[in-house]
Amino acid sequence: MKDKIFGVLQRVGRSFMLPIAILPVAGLLLGIGSSFTNATVLETYGLMGIMGPGTILNAILQVMSQAGNIVFANLPILFAIGVAIGMAKKEKEVAALAATIAFFVMHASISAMITINGETESMLSGAIADVCGITSLQMGVFGGIIVGLGVAALHNRFYRIEFPQVLSFFGGTRFVPIICALVYVLVGIWMFYIWPVVQNGIYAVGDVVLNSGYFGTWVYGLMERLLIPFGLHHVFYLPFWQTALGGSLEIGGKMIEGAQNIYFAQLADPNTEYFAVSATRFMSGKFPLMIFGLPGAALAMYKTAKTEKRKEVGGLLLSAALTSMLTGITEPLEFTFLFVAPLLYGIHCVFAGLAYMLMHIFGVGVGMTFSGGFIDMFLFGILQGNGKTNWIWIVIVGVVYFILYYVLFTLLILKLDLKTPGRGDEEEVKLYRRSDVTTRKNAEHQDISQNLKENTVSATIVQGLGGQHNISDVDCCATRLRCTVYDAKLVEKDLLKSTGASGVVQKGEGVQIIYGPRVTVIKSNLEDYLASNQEVFLENKETAVEEMEKESYYEKRGKVTKTIEIFSPITGVAVDLSTVPDEAFAGRMMGEGVAVVPEDGVVCAPEDGVVAFIFDTKHAIGFYTDSGISLLLHIGIDTVKLNGEGFETLVEVGQHIVKGTPMLRLDLEYLRDNAFSVVSPILCTELENNQKVRPLKEGSIQVGEALFVVDVYEVL
């Protein structure tokens, strides 16, 4: 169970990589754009002239800011789609569409509930957000993730569903968006009741922060980080930044409320001598974390990635680390380890709290527009001068944080073998061990028997199209399966029709098989079949060959064209091969034949032929009969261990001998006492598919008496 959860988390984490890849770019646009369009910043540095509203530079920066912001504003829906794509097994594009629909439906439902209950006023500030134009609950990427996961689960369950003919148009993949939309109406209504409760709980933590000094600052930092994945941090920190909860201060004769407002008011006030730490304690902690700590973590992840993967993850980690350092946008980096290694994120949260606390203790008074990157530190710390901000402590603490994060992440990743980027093993070509193959086979077996019916149809279609190698591509419209083949001559229309098609149209390489509305299901099955066939073929070839052999004997065999007799090489008792106390022989792994329990000490040639080999330990002889059969005479079981003791060879390798020529003399007494068993398999090791061993006798047998025959069938 634990492994399963972990496996799912890992897949979720990987499916995040797609939307995360855009974040560094968006972050830079947003970070640079918004910092240099901030009116207070521009006024303070006298940049109004060149960058103020109305200038071209300002226009460019505003566009940058908006272009970057839109990505972050819509992160929830991007995650909904990304997770659905990542988690869906097949037909991923359908999952993406369904996730988009479900996301809208959920938020629209929440929005409707809010309107109906008229609760917009009474809700906490930061609790309501504009989600893609819908006034809904602020659920952050968490809202996207529950949509993505739920849709993927529904998709995997239903994408091959079949309905009665009348409704069959809505079957298969078309059903997925339908069911998702319905389910997420309910989820939306449910969330309307659940989420505000959660939000209120978070809000209550704010009191703890206010009433407990340095410790409170630590709690603030911890909570803020901890809530990011759930989008709940807005509910938590916004009150501190924007309301009296974050303190109030009289600046230039005006009463200012909220930490961020206080900072910017002080920034604009030329009389400020030192920034109020009581306000900046809700902000400054981000700097050492984002400029120093997280890049240290990124370096650790890079160093611990597999050598061959470093190049690949290096790009991602470097850009994510740069984004964090410059703009203070940390999601790209945090999401790379949040889901694959929640423990690391937990530790990260603790240190985030500590960073805030340390900044508070050292009286650092650096504020920010929205996050703690180098741009903000430069504008609001360095440019303000150390005398007003004490910003130097950011660097001092930061350097320690860099080392701390690097060492801690490296140690934990290696020690616990956490699957941070470039350390996962799924994508690799795995060396299969026996047990893996067996488990897989069993799993596949269940799967196969479940889908046996579908597979038969798919298999017949593939055959009708001239085999898998002949299929170029497969698609479908409302009623037809549209396939393109490489060689039109290999298509067998009758076979295709036999799969339940109402018609088959062929124009050159294009083949259309008309099934009616249920075609989407047939197409999905066919694609599954085509995708899995290659592997299954390899894994099951063994079984397939065995089955084929059986089939060729029992169904497809023609007349017996030849019968080759093999005579007992020794006097004794003939027994069925399956009674041999060695699974390699009993399981026919070594070949087909009959075993003899010797009662006499001379092993003779079972036919005219050549001695192919005699083992050094003399317990086994290979023999090629003139009639073309390869025989293995294995005297006793585990007799290899006797090292030749009890055996005496009478012929030489390569010698041509006639039937009945003594080949080996046995010390039966010795063998009976020392060998695991004296039962001796006489086997045909290399039978062709049209050759079959037919035992002739069980019970006592004389040397030279016919033991079994090999029937050679006509190949049909």
Partner 1 sequence: MKTFSYTITDEIGIHARPAGLLVKEAKKYNSIITVSVGDKQADATKLMALMSLGVKNGQTVEVSVEGDDESIAFDNVMNFFRENL
For the bound state, the minimum distance from the C-beta of residue 686 to partner 1, rounded and expressed in Å, comes to: 6
Return the active site residues.
477, 634
**Of the listed pieces 162-170, 359-367, 451-459, 608-616, which binds partner 1 according to CB under 8 A?**
608-616
For the bound state, the minimum distance from the C-beta of residue 649 to partner 1, rounded and expressed in Å, comes to: 14
Do residues 599 and 701 make contact, with C-beta atoms less than 8 angstroms apart? no
Stretch 662-701 residues interacting with partner 1 (CB under 8 A): 685-686
Return the number of the residue (84 or 570) whose C-beta is nearest partner 1.
570
For the bound state, the minimum distance from the C-beta of residue 80 to partner 1, rounded and expressed in Å, comes to: 37
Return the number of the residue (348 or 634) whose C-beta is nearest partner 1.
634
Return the number of the residue (524 or 691) whose C-beta is nearest partner 1.
691
Return the number of the residue (503 or 587) whose C-beta is nearest partner 1.
587
Do residues 18 and 313 make contact, with C-beta atoms less than 8 angstroms apart? no
Total residues contacting partner 1 by CB under 8 A comes to 27
Stretch 427-446 residues interacting with partner 1 (CB under 8 A): 429, 431-433
For the bound state, the minimum distance from the C-beta of residue 582 to partner 1, rounded and expressed in Å, comes to: 8
Alpha carbon distance 480, 513 (integer Å): 5
Alpha carbon distance 197, 591 (integer Å): 71
Alpha carbon distance 295, 403 (integer Å): 10
**Of the listed pieces 23-31, 227-235, 352-360, 586-594, which binds partner 1 according to CB under 8 A?**
586-594
Q: What is the DSSP string of 349-408?
A: HHHHHHHHHHHHHTT-----SSS-SHHHHIIIIITT-HHHH-THHHHHHHHHHHHHHHHH
* Residue 12, C-beta contacts closer than 8 angstroms, at least 6 positions apart: 83, 86, 87, 145, 149, 339
Q: Binding to partner 1 by residue 308, rule CB under 8 A? A: no
* Helix (H) / strand (E) containing 286: helix 286-287
For the bound state, the minimum distance from the C-beta of residue 584 to partner 1, rounded and expressed in Å, comes to: 5
* Residue 229, C-beta contacts closer than 8 angstroms, at least 6 positions apart: 140, 141, 142, 338, 345
CA atoms within 13 A on the CB side of 44: 22
Do residues 172 and 524 make contact, with C-beta atoms less than 8 angstroms apart? yes
CA distances from 471 to 483, 506, 532 (A): 7, 14, 15
* Residue 472, C-beta contacts closer than 8 angstroms, at least 6 positions apart: 483, 484, 485, 486, 509
Tokens 């497809």 belong to residue: 556
Q: Which of 17, 181, 612, 650 forms a contact with partner 1 (CB under 8 A)?
A: 612
Do residues 424 and 10 make contact, with C-beta atoms less than 8 angstroms apart? yes
Q: Binding to partner 1 by residue 460, rule CB under 8 A? A: no
Q: Which of 573, 624, 627, 695 forms a contact with partner 1 (CB under 8 A)?
A: 624
**Of the listed pieces 399-407, 540-548, 594-602, 660-668, which binds partner 1 according to CB under 8 A?**
540-548
Per-residue binding string, partner 1, 629-668, x by CB under 8 A, is -x-x-x-----x----------------------------
**Of the listed pieces 119-127, 244-252, 624-632, 672-680, which binds partner 1 according to CB under 8 A?**
624-632
Stretch 362-421 residues interacting with partner 1 (CB under 8 A): none
Q: Which of 462, 620, 651, 657 forms a contact with partner 1 (CB under 8 A)?
A: 620
Per-residue binding string, partner 1, 542-581, x by CB under 8 A, is x--x------------------------------------
Length of the chain: 716
Q: Binding to partner 1 by residue 616, rule CB under 8 A? A: yes
Structure token digits, residue 117 = 């209950």
Give me the helices (H) in 211-280, please.
213-227, 233-242, 259-268, 277-280
Return the number of the residue (247 or 591) whose C-beta is nearest partner 1.
591
Residue 397: CB atoms within 10 Å: 25
Tokens 């037909």 belong to residue: 91
For the bound state, the minimum distance from the C-beta of residue 483 to partner 1, rounded and expressed in Å, comes to: 23
Per-residue binding string, partner 1, 482-521, x by CB under 8 A, is ----------------------------------------
For the bound state, the minimum distance from the C-beta of residue 616 to partner 1, rounded and expressed in Å, comes to: 7
- Using CB atoms within 10 A of its CB, is residue 254 exposed (0-12), middle (13-18) or buried (19+)? exposed
For the bound state, the minimum distance from the C-beta of residue 617 to partner 1, rounded and expressed in Å, comes to: 7
**Of the listed pieces 44-52, 239-247, 251-259, 425-433, which binds partner 1 according to CB under 8 A?**
425-433
* Helix (H) / strand (E) containing 251: strand 248-251
Return the number of the residue (157 or 550) whose C-beta is nearest partner 1.
550
Do residues 680 and 633 make contact, with C-beta atoms less than 8 angstroms apart? yes
Stretch 28-47 residues interacting with partner 1 (CB under 8 A): none
Q: Which of 214, 215, 486, 613 forms a contact with partner 1 (CB under 8 A)?
A: 613
Q: What is the DSSP string of 509-572?
A: TEEEEE--TTHHHHHHHHHHHHHHHHHHHHHHHHHHHHHHHHHHHHTS---EEEEEEEE-SSSE
Return the number of the residue (145 or 635) whose C-beta is nearest partner 1.
635
For the bound state, the minimum distance from the C-beta of residue 536 to partner 1, rounded and expressed in Å, comes to: 13
For the bound state, the minimum distance from the C-beta of residue 665 to partner 1, rounded and expressed in Å, comes to: 20
**Of the listed pieces 19-27, 104-112, 231-239, 538-546, which binds partner 1 according to CB under 8 A?**
538-546
CA end-to-end span of the chain, whole Å? 52
Q: Using CB under 8 A as the criterion, which residues of the chain lie in contact with partner 1 when the complex forms?
A: 429, 431-433, 538, 541-542, 545, 582, 584, 589-591, 612-613, 615-617, 620, 622, 624, 630, 632, 634, 640, 685-686
